[in-house]
Amino acid sequence: MRTGDLTTRRLPADEWPKLVGTLLESVWPSMHPTEDIVMVVESDGVIVGCTSFLQAWHMDGAWIREEDRGRVSVARALRNAMQETAQRLGAKEVWMMATNDESRRLCEHVGAQVTHLACDHFAVQFGVS
């Protein structure tokens, strides 16, 4: 779509290296080229704005009953179920959120890498029903 001197388009995966210098610079190498979408706004062929739509699995609510938190077998069984499910889904990565010390320990136990996001999360609704 062209508006004035601006062109808006879906950026094909083979052009994702053009995202260097944007906030997607560190994200695009781990994106899935046939499932994830990058939209750009260009002026004279130069990217002046971009965003991405990522299909990501988010695992939420991972929990172990307080009196069973010291049982390695429970954590191991839960970790194995998480890994098997992720593999069956073909997920390259699964996002987990830790909201307290217990959930942080569980994330660490399953081998999650800590990524501190210095941002706020918003739920944007576009009127899709």
Angle, CA 35 vertex, CA 29 and CA 40 arms, to 5° = 65
Strand, coil or helix: what is 23?
coil
75, 80, 90, 93, 102 from 86: Cα distances, Å? 16, 10, 6, 8, 22
**pLDDT of amino acid 37:** 96
Whether pLDDT at 26 is above 70? yes
Q: Which two tokens stand for residue 106?
A: 């569980």
**pLDDT of amino acid 110:** 74
pTM: 0.62
Sheet of 37-43: strand order equals 2-3, 6-10, 37-43, 46-53
33: amino acid identity, one letter: P
For residue 54, what pLDDT band results from cuts at 50, 70 and 90? confident
Domain positions in the chain: 2-53, 57-109
- Which pLDDT tens digit goes with each residue over 89-113? 888 778 887 777 877 877 787 777 7
Distance CA 33, CA 124 (A): 24
For the ranges 18-27, 40-49, 107-116, the lowest mean pLDDT is seen at 107-116
Burial readout 114-128 (b: 16 or more C-beta within 10 A, e: otherwise): eeeeeeeeeeeeeee
Beta strands in 11-118 (DSSP E): 37-43, 46-53, 57-59, 94-96
Distance CA 38, CA 56 (A): 14
For residue 52, what pLDDT band results from cuts at 50, 70 and 90? very high
Distance CA 49, CA 21 (A): 11
